[in-house]
Amino acid sequence: MFLTHLECTSCGLRHDAATLQNLCRECQKPLFPTYDFTAVGRVVTRESFATREKSLWRFREVLPLPADVEPITLGEGGTPLLQARRFGESVGVSQLFLKDESQNPTQSFKARGMAVAVSMAKHLGATRLAVPTAGNAGGALAAYAARAGLEAYIFMPSDTPRANMIECRELGAQVTLIDGLITDCGAEIAKRKTAEGWFDMSTLKEPYRVEGKKTLGYELAEQLGWELPDVVLYPTGGGTGLIGMWKAFNEMETLGWIGSQRPRMFSVQASGCAPIVRAFEAASETAAEFPDAHTVASGLRVPKAIGDFLMLRILRKSGGGAITVNDAEMIRITREVGAAEGLFVAPEGAACFAALKTLLSNGSISRDERVVIFNTGSGIKYLDCYAQ
Residues facing 151 on adjacent strands: 128
How does 117-152 read in b/e, with b if 16+ C-beta sit within 10 Å? bbbbbbbeebebbbbbbbbbbbbbbbbbbbbbebbb
Residue at 17 is within a domain: no
Q: Averaged over 266-274, what is the pLDDT?
A: 98
Q: Is the sign of the CA dihedral 71, 12, 285, 206 positive or negative?
A: positive
Cβ atoms 115, 73 nearer than 8 A: yes
Residue at 12 is within a domain: no
- What per-residue confidence (pLDDT) applies to 384? 86
Select from 179, 177, 205, 215 the least CA-distant residue to 63.
215
Q: Is the pLDDT of residue 12 over 90?
A: yes
Classify 253 as helix, strand or coil: helix
Tens-digit pLDDT profile for residues 176-197:
999 999 999 999 999 999 999 9
Confidence of residue 130 (pLDDT cuts 50, 70, 90): very high
Which CATH number is 212's domain given?
3.40.50.1100
Residue at 37 is within a domain: no
Query: Rounded to the nearest 10 degrees, what angle do helices 136-148 and 110-123 cross at?
Result: 40
Q: Averaged over 217-244, what is the pLDDT?
A: 97
Q: Is the pLDDT of residue 267 over 90?
A: yes
DSSP string for residues in 241-252 = HHHHHHHHHHHH
Confidence of residue 26 (pLDDT cuts 50, 70, 90): very high
Residue at 33 is within a domain: no
| CB neighbours of residue 31 within 10 Å | 26
Q: Averaged over 119-128, what is the pLDDT?
A: 98
Tens-digit pLDDT profile for residues 55-104:
999 999 999 999 999 999 999 999 999 999 999 999 999 999 999 999 99
Count: domains in the chain: 1
Q: Is the pLDDT of residue 386 over 90?
A: no
Residue at 93 is within a domain: yes
Cβ atoms 82, 357 nearer than 8 A: no
Residue at 182 is within a domain: no
DSSP assigned state of 224:
T
The amino acid that residue 343 corresponds to is L
The amino acid that residue 362 corresponds to is N
Residues facing 57 on adjacent strands: none
Alpha-carbon 371 to chain mean position = 18
- What per-residue confidence (pLDDT) applies to 385? 85
Residue at 20 is within a domain: no
Residue at 43 is within a domain: no
- What per-residue confidence (pLDDT) applies to 388? 54
| Parent domain of 357 | 81-108+208-386
**Average pLDDT of every residue of the chain:** 96
Q: Averaged over 43-49, what is the pLDDT?
A: 95
Q: Is the pLDDT of residue 142 over 90?
A: yes
